[in-house]
Chain A
Amino acid sequence: MTDKNGFFDLSKSGITRRKALKGLAAGAGLAVAPGFVRYAQAQSSAPIKIGFQSHRTGIGAAYGRWYEKTTAAAIKAINAAGGINGRQVEVIIEDDGTDPGRGAEVVGKFATQHKTDIVFGTLFSHVVIGSAPAAGEAKMPYFVVSEGHHVASTKLNRYVFQPGITDVKSQIQSMAPWIAANAGKKVTQIFPDFAFGYDHRDYLPPALKAQGADVIAQIAIPPTESSFTKYFPQIPAETEVIYHVMVGPAVLTFVKELGEFYGSQRPQLFGFIDSLEAVDINSPGLEFLDGSHFWEGSPRYAQADDSEAQKAYRAAVGIDDNGAAVGDPKDVSTAAHMFGCWETLYVVKKAMEDAGYKGPEDRAKLVEATEALKEFAEGPEHPQGPKTFNGKIHQCFGIQNISKVEGGKLKVVHKTKIEDGLYEAEGDYTTQAL
């Protein structure tokens, strides 16, 4: 590089061998000086910084709070066991307001201001999709705990991973065999008229068809709706199973009105616990759900056959046998999803160790090391259960739980197999440049 004043033109700088040797000696002197040694050590032992994009405010706040608790517990356990590559782990939290615009800014803030090693923890799909371009542009590994199909769809970019929680397509597909065999063959779906509902609308019918069952009606309810009675007459009389995935504050009204509509003679009910995460299953109005079934990622209530790893995980996070905060029975957790934070952090640990990760300059190595992971055995690091990982689509696959509401608790009655949720890859992130 040169300029017309010759500032950077070494040919004109008149550097002699004597000057070069002096310079080298000075450099060597600096390198062995006590201050420099301390600095170098500080670099190698400085904590690994994880940027936690948290939904502290906005619609995702209930999830965000429990995601933070689970993350804190996992980091405490990881640090107590020596950290990652001998370095302690520090979590820096920024609130994204559950807003995709702010989410992208927060990812930028982690990359350029906090200079974190990775970004982690996002749940809501629109925030993940809104933040993914910022992560890709900053070449920042972005580990989400969202359960959306967006990562596995390969529509995002090579820096986005979901290794700690299964995606909704896989979950729905896993439910179909049990529904067809145990609940009924004629299914009516009731779902919110936005993306979360559309996943169920699109993925359930083919999955049921493969099991010899049919979706006989699909009832989409606008997100602005606050009363549901007028929709219930649309449910065909021959319906054997109502598959419901209503979410948000309206779910209590939905269940209450559904109960009033059917009385004691109702079809089988099957739902996703997403509707009732952080909501006490014994809340007034939910009595109608007694005897119905729910998908759960990880069981909210302690089960008789819980593994030691599951018990240790629950104790570490601080949830009691009913899935509420220890000491505050009204503070119900988001147990079905938040385990994903714990497991994702252990995947990050494993990938960083495999990559010999030292700092942000190794982010590409970290991406490749994560893509190379194949499976995670059930145990303290993966208390929800064993998982496989598809590095091409950056998505894990695992078991699912089907729980029955019995005596005011959710009891697991069936666990699916990993194979139940596998599907054809829709693309391949590894073909994208790093």
Chain B
Amino acid sequence: MSEASPAKAYALHLGIIALLFALSFILPEYYHGLLARIMVLAVFAMGYNMLFGYVGLLSLGHAMFFGAGLYGAGLAIIQLGWSVPAALAAGLACGAVLSLVIGLLALRTTGVAFMIVTMMFAQVFYLLILYFATWTGGDQGMVVPQPARVLNFGATSLDLTDPTVRYICALTLFSLVLLITLSIVRSRHGRVLVAIRENEERTKMLGYDTYSNKLAAVVVSGTICAASGAAYALLFGYVGSSFASVQYSILPLLWVLLGGAATTLGPLIGTVFMYYVIDITSGYTSAYLLIVGIALILLVLFFPKGILGTIRQRWLRWLP
């Protein structure tokens, strides 16, 4: 990545946020709702990208962080009757604490071992959800009651089940995480993370505490994923174990690979691409996953670094 003026990078990102805001007035009803969901899940992908893209740590267990936010927020509302902000905070706290613990344990490994350890922890998390079915709803999951999904500001209240409110909330979360991600990757800490990815031994030799930096990245990544999970529970009203299954650990990896690892906007592009390919092709054939597979192969052949990664490599080298 060549150096670019901060203004250029921030202008691009603010432009994307403005575009997404404008789309809320233009998009047909269905795609309006779909994009709200995509933005929330793109946050999940951004959290994954923080660790995979910038630190080079391939996790197969990020569904547990998404699940921590999902269940942290969902259970706080359903079982404890907490308000939406308190439930959101609970979801974030669950993700932060879980990622800290997992980071402390899993960072003792690297490479394939890290991948397997994270997958095992995620499987434990998934089975715990099934085991404590009395509280979690097991494999069937639970509905967050519609009346509880209201955000109160003094005398006024925002109904999170309203499509417009939901879109704006999803956009707000997406924008915050996008700008936080951008500021992190442009920061000194972000550069150290990239250095670790490129050559950890050399980074250590230069005097950096690579373990602390990696641990911080795991916590930030896990907390962002938990924010996505918490938002999903609050905005879409369903908390279910399938979101903590291995499938949801692989999905953010695919979204990031498609959009471009280690690009701030790649996760959004990958998520949008995957969603639309599935949505459109499933209308024509039940073998839509075959088409998705072919699309992935073509992308790997012609865009080996993902869509935005390849664009950066070939044309826009200043892209963050």
A contact residues vs B (CB 8 Å cutoff):
56-57, 94-95, 97, 99-101, 104-105, 108-109, 112-113, 125-126, 129-130, 132-134, 136-137, 148, 150, 155-157, 193-195, 198, 222-223
The answer to whether A113 and B133 have CB atoms under 8 Å apart is no
Residues in B neighbouring A155, C-beta threshold 8 A: 142-143
The answer to whether B146 and A130 have CB atoms under 8 Å apart is no
Residue of B nearest to A103 (CB): B238
Bound complex: CA A194 to CA B32 (Å): 35
Does B28 lie at the interface of the complex (its beta carbon under 8 Å from any beta carbon of A)? yes
Residue of A nearest to B275 (CB): A105
Q: Whole-angstrom distance from the CB of B150 to the nearest CB of chain A?
A: 13
The answer to whether A134 and B236 have CB atoms under 8 Å apart is yes
Known contacts A57-B289, A112-B30, A198-B133; A137 and B146 CB within 8 A of each other: yes
Bound complex: CA A185 to CA B4 (Å): 79
Known contacts A108-B33, A137-B146; A94 and B283 CB within 8 A of each other: yes
Residues in B neighbouring A57, C-beta threshold 8 A: 286, 288-289
A-B contact pairs, 20 of them (CB 8 A): A95-B282, A100-B242, A101-B243, A109-B30, A112-B32, A113-B29, A126-B140, A126-B242, A129-B137, A129-B238, A130-B238, A130-B240, A130-B242, A133-B143, A133-B236, A134-B237, A148-B140, A195-B138, A198-B133, A223-B139
Q: Whole-angstrom distance from the CB of B273 to the nearest CB of chain A?
A: 16
Residues in B neighbouring A112, C-beta threshold 8 A: 28-30, 32-33
Task: Flag B262-303 by CB within 8 Å of A: 1 or 0 each.
Answer: 000000000000000001001100101100000000000000
Residues in A neighbouring B139, C-beta threshold 8 A: 126, 194-195, 223
Q: Whole-angstrom distance from the CB of B30 to the nearest CB of chain A?
A: 4
Residues in B neighbouring A132, C-beta threshold 8 A: 143, 238
Does B34 lie at the interface of the complex (its beta carbon under 8 Å from any beta carbon of A)? yes
Does B130 lie at the interface of the complex (its beta carbon under 8 Å from any beta carbon of A)? yes
Contact of A113 among B28, B137, B146 (CB under 8 A): B28
The answer to whether A194 and B133 have CB atoms under 8 Å apart is yes
Q: Whole-angstrom distance from the CB of A348 to the nearest CB of chain B?
A: 23
B contact residues vs A (CB 8 Å cutoff):
28-30, 32-34, 37, 127, 130-131, 133, 137-144, 146, 161, 236-238, 240-243, 279, 282-283, 286, 288-289
The answer to whether A100 and B282 have CB atoms under 8 Å apart is no
Known contacts A194-B139, A195-B139; A223 and B130 CB within 8 A of each other: yes
Bound complex: CA A193 to CA B127 (Å): 10
Residue of A nearest to B162 (CB): A137
Contact of A108 among B30, B133, B243, B283 (CB under 8 A): B30
The answer to whether A198 and B138 have CB atoms under 8 Å apart is yes
Query: Which 9 residue pairs spanning A and B have beta carbons closest together?
Result: A133-B237, A113-B30, A112-B29, A112-B30, A195-B140, A56-B286, A194-B139, A195-B138, A130-B238
The answer to whether A129 and B142 have CB atoms under 8 Å apart is yes
Residues in A neighbouring B243, C-beta threshold 8 A: 101
Residues in B neighbouring A95, C-beta threshold 8 A: 282, 286, 288
Residues in B neighbouring A157, C-beta threshold 8 A: 143, 146
Bound complex: CA A195 to CA B130 (Å): 8
Q: Whole-angstrom distance from the CB of B207 to the nearest CB of chain A?
A: 45
Residues in B neighbouring A223, C-beta threshold 8 A: 130, 139
Q: Whole-angstrom distance from the CB of B79 to the nearest CB of chain A?
A: 13
Bound complex: CA A126 to CA B240 (Å): 8
Q: Whole-angstrom distance from the CB of A406 to the nearest CB of chain B?
A: 34
The answer to whether A99 and B146 have CB atoms under 8 Å apart is no
Q: Whole-angstrom distance from the CB of B121 to the nearest CB of chain A?
A: 16
Residue of B nearest to A194 (CB): B139
Known contacts A113-B29, A137-B161, A150-B140; A193 and B146 CB within 8 A of each other: no
Known contacts A100-B240, A105-B34; A193 and B143 CB within 8 A of each other: no
Q: Whole-angstrom distance from the CB of B23 to the nearest CB of chain A?
A: 15
Q: Whole-angstrom distance from the CB of B128 to the nearest CB of chain A?
A: 12
Bound complex: CA A33 to CA B133 (Å): 63
Bound complex: CA A347 to CA B286 (Å): 29
Residues in B neighbouring A113, C-beta threshold 8 A: 28-30
Residue of A nearest to B36 (CB): A108
Residues in A neighbouring B141, C-beta threshold 8 A: 100, 126, 129-130
Most buried by B among A137, A155, A156: A137
Bound complex: CA A156 to CA B133 (Å): 18
16 more A-B contacts (CB under 8 A) besides A101-B243, A155-B143, A194-B139? Answer: A99-B242, A100-B238, A100-B240, A101-B242, A109-B30, A109-B34, A112-B28, A126-B139, A126-B240, A129-B137, A129-B143, A129-B238, A133-B236, A137-B146, A194-B130, A223-B139
Known contacts A56-B286, A126-B242, A156-B143; A105 and B37 CB within 8 A of each other: yes
Bound complex: CA A195 to CA B240 (Å): 12
Bound complex: CA A100 to CA B161 (Å): 18
Contact of B146 among A94, A97, A100, A133 (CB under 8 A): A133
Q: Whole-angstrom distance from the CB of A24 to the nearest CB of chain B?
A: 32
Contact of B282 among A94, A150, A222 (CB under 8 A): A94
Q: Whole-angstrom distance from the CB of B254 to the nearest CB of chain A?
A: 15
Residue of B nearest to A108 (CB): B33
Residues in B neighbouring A105, C-beta threshold 8 A: 34, 37, 279
Residues in A neighbouring B28, C-beta threshold 8 A: 112-113
Bound complex: CA A25 to CA B236 (Å): 48
Residues in B neighbouring A109, C-beta threshold 8 A: 30, 34, 279
Known contacts A100-B238, A101-B242, A112-B33; A133 and B144 CB within 8 A of each other: yes
